Chains A and B, each alone.
Chain A
Amino acid sequence: MNPNSEIYNLRVNGKTHEIRDSWVGESLLYVLRERLNLPGTKGACEQGECGSCTVIMDGQAVCSCLVMAATAIESEIQTIENLSDGGSLTEVQDAFVTEGGVQCGFCTPGLVVAIEHLLSQNPDPSEIEIKEAISGNICRCTGYGRIFEAVDKAVSVRKAKTS
């Protein structure tokens, strides 16, 4: 075994994964993409400014680039890959497609995770609450207008389903 390696377990998307031969300083983002073959979470700034690496950890939206993977043992981690139940899209994902919230698409997984996290805590957010919730996610294509429309659509679709 490489002396500069760690073996530890991570709970990702409901499954326990053993991480081997990992360097101590590896970020959760790196481990998800390069070791667990979960490339849906995107990496861009690697300094917590862009939000494209957003995942849910123990019920909180976090930047996976700022989590030291080896310290995330015993945490429940949810990535974009686990939001839908298989082949179908969630209401948020579907609304991003139909409302034109996706252009280059690079920010989309992080935004979808941040919005799913918001709606899980607040199913009918105000405009300012939506803006606050995605203030840590940068999109350089859409100008955000179509993203806000997608959130509104997802909220109304979910409301119709539950009423």
Chain B
Amino acid sequence: MSVLVPRTLQDALQATAANPSAQLIQGGTDLMVEINFNHRKPTDVIALRRVDELKSIQIDTEKSQITIGAGLPYQQMEHGEIARRLPALAQAARTVGSPQIRSAGSIGGNLGTCSPAGDALPVLSALDATVNLQSADASRSVSVHDFMVGVKRNARLPGEIIVSTTLPIVSGWQGYAKVGVRNAMVISVASCCLVVDRINGTIAVALGAVGPTIIRCRETESWLASQVDLKTKTTISPNLLQEFGTRIANESKPIDDHRSTAAYRRHAVCVLARRLLTRANSQ
């Protein structure tokens, strides 16, 4: 029975090596709910909230990518450099809970919990982010698509810590939208991230909370790229927009649960995707 609060990444990695099954906790916004409701009773805990190395932001302009520490609170993604270069991530960050939650919650926590409703996860998926993991004697990088394996299941191995995620800076429009029962303080019923790469003429659409994990709509993406030139802003005809939304909805795999119904979620992602595509071509 122990609680460790390491101050450096090295100490944290040694702690996980010594006790690979210990419960890791970052901001606590998911885990503490499970504990408060007696769904989980941890015995050994390693808290990462004091590890400053997990809160770094590294901007690599040569490689055109940003590496964000797994423990950086969402609050710090709402404005500034991250918001300027990764606007979809900033928009997702702003929809997370309330100020109280955004001062604690982080991408590392979203990835660790791996709930399909995690607000940052569709952004990571649409941007083909890389998840960087470290253990006491090794480090590895995994595509976010391989990292998220199912409902609240991920590819993290015992003893590993999610240290950061690397996201490309894409030239073009990107945005995020979500539906919940109200605007503030809400867990998403359905969410969508859309990224247009104007250099390569491609589009990426990722959906949250409408499947066991985040869904990338690859069939619709290549279909749209064959219909319009994505290298420039184009007017999308109403018929094409309608079909885009329908195809997106068909790629979703929602279920009925306590938060919403499958039918509503299918409708919601259709509307969200159409809305984002319209914004991409008007803003």
Contacts and interface: CB of A to CB of B under 8 A. Distances in A.
Given A68-B28, A71-B5, A71-B25, A48 B33 contact: yes
B97 A24 contact: no
Contacts of B37: 46-47
A61 interface: yes
Contacts of B36: 27, 46-47, 65
A116 B74 CA distance: 22
B225 to A, nearest CB: 38
B258 interface: no
Interface string B12-25: 00000000000001
A136 B49 CA distance: 22
B252 to A, nearest CB: 26
A126 interface: no
A6 B1 contact: yes
B63 interface: no
Contacts of B45: 24-25, 68, 70-71
A67 B32 contact: yes
Instruction: Pick the 8 closest A-B CB pairs, nearest first.
Output: A136-B98, A135-B184, A71-B47, A70-B3, A46-B36, A60-B103, A25-B35, A66-B32
B100 interface: yes
A24 B1 contact: yes
Interface of A: 3-6, 8, 24-25, 27, 46-49, 51, 54, 60-63, 65-68, 70-71, 73-74, 114, 132-133, 135-138
A114 B40 CA distance: 29
Given A48-B33, A65-B32, A66-B33, A135 B5 contact: no
Contacts of A3: 1
Contact of B100 (A4, A27, A51, A68): A51
Interface of B: 1-3, 5, 25, 27-29, 31-33, 35-37, 40-45, 47, 49-50, 75, 97-101, 103-104, 183-185
Given A62-B104, A68-B45, A135-B99, A47 B33 contact: yes
A6 B43 CA distance: 11
Contacts of A49: 185
Contact of B1 (A4, A54, A67, A132): A4
Given A71-B3, A136-B184, A25 B99 contact: no
B5 A25 contact: no
Contacts of B3: 6, 8, 24, 68, 70-71
B1 A61 contact: no
A157 to B, nearest CB: 24
B46 to A, nearest CB: 9
A49 B37 CA distance: 14
A54 B101 CA distance: 11
Contacts of B104: 62-63, 66-67
Contacts of A47: 33, 36-37
B199 to A, nearest CB: 35
Contact of A24 (B43, B49, B185): B43
A156 B187 CA distance: 36
A51 B50 contact: no
Contacts of B103: 60-62
A74 B1 contact: no
Nearest to B36: A46
Contact of B42 (A24, A61, A67, A137): A24
B100 A62 contact: yes
Contacts of A137: 98
A131 B44 CA distance: 39
Contacts of A67: 28, 32, 104
Contacts of A25: 35, 40-42, 45
B129 to A, nearest CB: 26
Nearest to A113: B100
A65 B44 CA distance: 19
Contacts of B184: 135-136
